[in-house]
Structure 1
């Protein structure tokens, strides 16, 4: 059984691509004073759609929010003051960055992420992509990505004060409206 000692500060927001999960996460943390936004996906400069998506995300965020662009969230947590709030968008960027890790190294790293997140004293809102609702990947790396992201999200959910599913621009509090299996 996982120790749930810091259950009051972690909020998980998941949903499929373009569901509105980032907007919902921003809304949940909007009233916090000092927010650090950790953007985990690498910028792909030759992909115009990706650049536009990043531009829209930046445009929505308040200008006083601090921005850290990194996939190494465990290291970046060291530089954020205890009283600050954090929005991490998203776990998929973390998983994809460390996809080349073997399972032992990945399990060690993902355990470190969970430890750092659950020990942080401020509010943390984490965005996670919901995957696996459609066609299963036909590549080994696609299956590894799907499995690791799903497992990391599920583990973090056990610590979450709130867990939201966002789909079609609508948010459902699944921590209230569901049962664990």
Structure 2
């Protein structure tokens, strides 16, 4: 299977395999892959560094890697997307890096990303976590993260050519299996 969609969203819970599925889709595109890592390195956090190393070992060595913890929209605007497959892993980490933004600033940041993604030609694969399937977080920052990420993924699903859910050891193509929700998207 070769990706024909311009914008693909791969979502799922922690440790579900969503990154591996997104990487497989990028390989199947038969294009040069530009991998945008949104995490921030922290040499004092050994467990985090081990996670990052596992991701690195899994990726082909010919992929171009960009570490972009904050300026995702600007970076996407500067890349040549027609000849490449862009893989962004992950939107949850990117959002966490911007969690200190007030609501108005976040709305603008989100809108700029959505507008950019809607206009870029070429293959873009976005990995996003599903965080809202459990209890409501007991603290404001946790609720803000969960609500912002949920709304962002919903907005992306509305403009994506293909949305996959990876969970329970299975990949589900929601675009083929589901029906889009036509109600107005909530503001974050």
Task: Report the TM-score, using the length of structure 1 for normalisation.
Answer: 0.92
RMSD: 1.4
Secondary structure at the aligned position of 1:64 is classed as: coil
Secondary structure at the aligned position of 1:128 is classed as: strand
The number of residue pairs the alignment matches comes to 175
Structure 2 counterpart of 1:67:
65
Residues 19-58 of structure 1 correspond to what in structure 2 (within 5 A)?
Answer: 19-31=16-28, 32-58=30-56
Structure 1 counterpart of 2:137:
137
Which ranges in structure 1 are unaligned for 5 or more consecutive residues?
1-6
Secondary structure at the aligned position of 1:118 is classed as: helix
Task: Give the whole-Å Cα distance in 2 for the aligned partners of 1:150 and 1:134.
Answer: 12
Secondary structure at the aligned position of 1:150 is classed as: helix
Secondary structure at the aligned position of 2:126 is classed as: strand
Residues 107-146 of structure 1 correspond to what in structure 2 (within 5 A)?
Answer: 107-146=107-146
Task: Give the whole-Å Cα distance in 1 for the aligned partners of 2:114 and 2:63.
Answer: 24
Task: Give the whole-Å Cα distance in 1 for the aligned partners of 2:16 and 2:23.
Answer: 14
Q: 8 Å contact 1:20–1:168 — kept in the other structure? A: no
Which ranges in structure 2 are unaligned for 5 or more consecutive residues?
182-188
Shift of 1:51: 1.1
Shift of 1:154: 0.4
